[in-house]
Amino acid sequence: MKKELLIASALVSTMGVASVAQAVTATMSGHHDAGLVGTNSDAGSNDTTAAKTESSFSVSLSETTDGGIGVSTSFMLANETDGGLHTSGLTLAFTDGSKLDLVNGGNAAKTHDIAVPGGAGKAEGITVTSSNTATTDLDFFGEAGGAGFEWHSAADFLADGLKIGVSYSVDNGAAAGVSSKLDSAWGLGATYVSTAGDTTITVGAGLADSSWKDNGIQPTNNSNGMHIGLSAVTGDLTVAVGYAEGDKVKQTTGEYELMDASVSKVGVSYVSGDITLSAGFASGEGKDSDTMGTKGTTADSKDVTSAGISYAVASGVTANVGWNNTDSKDEGVSETSGGSSWYLGASM
């Protein structure tokens, strides 16, 4: 990590020196989480307590043309959070407030999902058995290939408070080989913000579809789905709900599998001075398919209850205490891979 930070400092210093010809404007950002995470499995045989650290460090590059169009991109020099460096393509920001992401543009359905409050910190949680395909993410669908775009409208598009997005991507033309591979994908998303008295209401929705290859064969079923969510903010109180359903392709070596899934979430948070209290509940179901995507009839399920307390210790420093409980069923049968987890740590 120290070596990566030294390289980053030297690189950004070089880009920021005025004497360098055609130097682009560069900014840095990052975070570091450190704490303890404990798990208490329903099986009762593998309770653990361990240190948990996660870091990231990224560089953003941007400049504006003489015509007022902003050109920007970013890349990560270190990311221990999920192992991916999340290198961006190019983003063009137009004078009317709209934006266009080119190369690694993403999927517009994911951009417009509603954030539902839950626990605090990033480390608490139970990992259930791999055969349980249920998910509790509202944007579990919505894949995207690198060769594509995502367009973001300006604010107040067609109506006050409305923003929309459109995306499309294709694969690189390579053969699927022995595992399933994304062929093409599109997404639509919208966010609408309005007020009712002292309450700000935000509605977010998304729709996405994709096609896949498996050993050169086009399967009957593809990955697709929709989500819709609503949040209401009144002063320091936030309440949010969300729902999603669809099919999710599992990219497994040697076969093509499909998960028929649905997710429901509800959460609440309250800010009191430097303290934020949060709690949430999420319920997900997923039905496995056989190879080539014939849907199953018995559902896996996962119910997750979470709560947390965050305290702003200083500018940019937050202490977090989180708790999570997971109930899990595989093919309709309760399993012992569920349990509870806690997290105690700080984020900078």
Structural domain range at position 174: 2-347
What's the average model confidence in pLDDT over 335-345? 76
Confidence of residue 243 (pLDDT cuts 50, 70, 90): very high
- Judge whether residue 5 has pLDDT over 70: no
- Judge whether residue 255 has pLDDT over 50: no
Query: Closest by alpha carbon to 41, among 121, 127, 131, 130?
Result: 127
Count of the separate structural domains present in the chain: 1
CA atoms 123, 129, 135, 136: torsion sign: negative
The winner for highest mean pLDDT among 6-20, 251-265, 305-319 is 305-319
Determine the pLDDT at residue 287: 79
Q: Which residue has the higher pLDDT, 257 or 317?
A: 317
Helices (H) and strands (E) in the chain, counts: 2, 17
Confidence of residue 47 (pLDDT cuts 50, 70, 90): confident
Determine the pLDDT at residue 153: 95
CA atoms of 224 and 14, how far apart (whole Å) = 45
pTM reported for the whole predicted model = 0.80
Strand segments, DSSP code E, in 80-155 are: 90-93, 99-102, 147-152
Q: What CATH number does residue 90 fall under?
A: 2.40.160.10
Q: What is the mean pLDDT of the chain?
A: 79
**Segment 160-217, tens digit of pLDDT:** 999 999 999 887 555 555 556 777 889 999 999 999 999 999 999 999 988 877 665 5
Torsion of CA 16, 21, 24, 26, to 10 degrees: -10
Determine the pLDDT at residue 163: 96
Residue 108 DSSP class: H
Determine the pLDDT at residue 284: 87
Angle (nearest 5°) at CA 116 between 314 and 33? 35
Q: Which residue has the higher pLDDT, 6 or 285?
A: 285
